[in-house]
Amino acid sequence: MAMFKQYIIVSPGQDIQCKEETLSKAIADLPPKGVLIKVHSSGVCHTDLHQWLEGGFRLSDSEYLLFASREGMGYPKVPGHEISGTVYKFGPDVREDESSLSKGDSVIVYPWIACGDCRYCERGNNDHCTGGKSQEIGMNINGGYSEFVIVPHYRYAVPLPSAISIDMGSVLGCSSLTVYNAVKTGLAELPEAGDWRSDDQFHVAVVGLGGLGSWAVSFIPLLFKPAIKPNVAITGIDINESKLSTFVDEGLIQNSFHLSTLKPPQEQASMCRDKISTKGYQIIFDFVNNPLTFDVSIRLLGNHGVLVSVGLFGGTGNVQLPLLSLGRKKIIGIHTGSYNLFKEMLEFLASNIDNIKTPTLSVYPLADCMKALRDVKEGKISGRAILKVNNET
C-alpha cells in the first residue's frame, strides 16, 4: 500500500509530528472537481509560526485572534499555504478536456480559496471573503507540509510559467502575491502621484527587508515608474545592518536606516528624516507591522502620505492622531490577494523576471520543517525558507 508523509500541528506550542497516510485515502478524499498535487516545494511563512507557536495573532497584551475560533482553522492541521508541485490525479468529475492541465504538469497552488457566494467573492475580492465557508489551504484544510496535497478545485492549480523555477513557484502564493497587492494598492491610493514634478523628491520606505521586503524593492520601481515622474528613491529600514548594506551594494535601495529596538520611535523618526533629508515619505510599506515599526512609520509619513500595513507580527499600534488629520494621511491594510490578482501577478513576474531580484531561498528537507521554522523564528533566514518535498519532480 503506497504511503506518504504529512507533518501535522496537533496543537499550538507542540512540536510538529510526522504521520503517514495512505495515497488511496487521499485519492478517495478528492472532491469531484479537485486535483491531487504531488508537492515539490513548500514555502515557510511567518503565519506558519503563528499556527505552530501561538495558535493565532496577538492583538494586544491580553487579546488574541485565535485560529481555533475561526471556522475550520482549528487543529490538528497540516500547515503550509505556499505550494508548488505537479498534477498527480484529478477528481472523479473532471472531464479529460475540461482542464488545460495534464498529469505531471508543474503548477503553483493558489491557496486562498473562499466561499464564492458572499458580496466580496462576487466582486472578485475573494481575499476578503466573509462567507464563512473558506477552504484556504494550510489554514482551513491541510496544506503543503506534506508529500501530497488536495486542491478542492483544479482552477486553483495554476500552470507554472516557464520563466519561473518550481522552487521559486512555491513562494508566490503568499509572499509575492501580498507584496504585489500592497504595491499596486498603495500606488492606487496616491491619486496625485501623476502630478508630481520631475524634480520633486519622491521617497518610498520599505520597512523590513526579509522575504516580503525583498520582493518589494524589485516591484516598486517596475510598477511606480510608468505612473510617477520623479525618480523614486527607496529607503530600506531594518534592524539588521548587514542586510541594509547588502541591499545598498546591490543597488536595490538608494537609502538605508538602521532601526534600533532600544531608542524611542520619536527620536528614530527624526534621525531617519535628517539622514535622508526629507520632510516625509509619500508611501511606506511596513512588512513587519509591530508597535515600533508602526509608530516610526506614522511619524515618517509626509502630507498626503499612505502607510501600507502588511506584516502580521502582532500587537497594538500607537498613532499621533492630530498628525493624521493635519497631513491628510492614510493607513491601509493588505493581506494576500485575490485569485485574479494572482494570475495577473504571474504574468507580470514571467515578463519581468530578468529585472526582478528574487529572494534568496534557504532550502530544507521536509523532514527538517521544525528546524526551518526555528530558523525563521530566530531571524536566521535572509530571503525565504522553503521545504524541498519531492526532489524527483
CB of 114 to Zn ion, least distance (A): 4
Residue 121 binding Zn ion, by CB under 5 A: yes
Nearer to Zn ion, 47 or 106 (CB): 47
CB of 177 to Zn ion, least distance (A): 9
- Name the amino acid, one letter, at 258: H
Size of the site for Zn ion (CB under 5 A): 9
Nearer to Zn ion, 133 or 304 (CB): 133
CB of 47 to Zn ion, least distance (A): 4
CB of 239 to Zn ion, least distance (A): 21
Q: Please identify which residue in 47, 297, 338, 358 interacts with Zn ion, judged by CB under 5 A.
A: 47
| 239 touches 258 (CB < 8 A) | yes
Q: Please identify which residue in 129, 182, 212, 300 interacts with Zn ion, judged by CB under 5 A.
A: 129
> Hey, how many other C-beta atoms are within 10 angstroms of the C-beta on 37?
26
Task: Show the binding pattern over residues 161-200: x = contacts Zn ion (CB under 5 A), - = does not.
Answer: -------------x--------------------------
> Hey, how many other C-beta atoms are within 10 angstroms of the C-beta on 269?
19
Q: How far apart are the first and last CA of the chain?
A: 21
Helix (H) or strand (E) holding 200: none
| 232 touches 217 (CB < 8 A) | no
CB of 45 to Zn ion, least distance (A): 3
CB of 126 to Zn ion, least distance (A): 6
CA distances from 68 to 9, 112, 230, 242 (A): 12, 18, 48, 39
CB of 31 to Zn ion, least distance (A): 18
CB of 347 to Zn ion, least distance (A): 21
DSSP state of 160: P
Query: 3-class DSSP state for residue 151?
Result: strand
**Closest to 337 (Cα-Cα) out of 107, 130, 155, 129:** 129
Cα 390 to Cα 40: distance, rounded to the nearest angstrom: 5
Nearer to Zn ion, 9 or 129 (CB): 129
Nearer to Zn ion, 79 or 265 (CB): 79
Nearer to Zn ion, 34 or 211 (CB): 211
Nearer to Zn ion, 47 or 235 (CB): 47
User: Which residues, 222 to 241, sit near Zn ion by CB under 5 A?
Assistant: none
Q: Please identify which residue in 118, 212, 298, 373 interacts with Zn ion, judged by CB under 5 A.
A: 118
Q: Please identify which residue in 83, 114, 158, 216 interacts with Zn ion, judged by CB under 5 A.
A: 114
Q: Please identify which residue in 72, 131, 159, 161 interacts with Zn ion, judged by CB under 5 A.
A: 131
- Name the amino acid, one letter, at 310: V
Query: In sequence order, what are the beta bridge partners of 4?
Result: 21
Residue 115 binding Zn ion, by CB under 5 A: yes
Please state the φ and ψ torsions of residue 204, each to the nearest 5 degrees. -120, 140
- Grid cell, residue 65, equals 485572534
For residue 89, what are the contacts with CB-CB under 8 A and spacing of at least 6?
Answer: 27, 30, 35, 36, 103
Strands 106-109 and 82-90: antiparallel
Nearer to Zn ion, 49 or 319 (CB): 49
Applying CB under 5 A, the residues found at the interface with Zn ion are: 45, 47, 114-115, 118, 121, 129, 131, 174
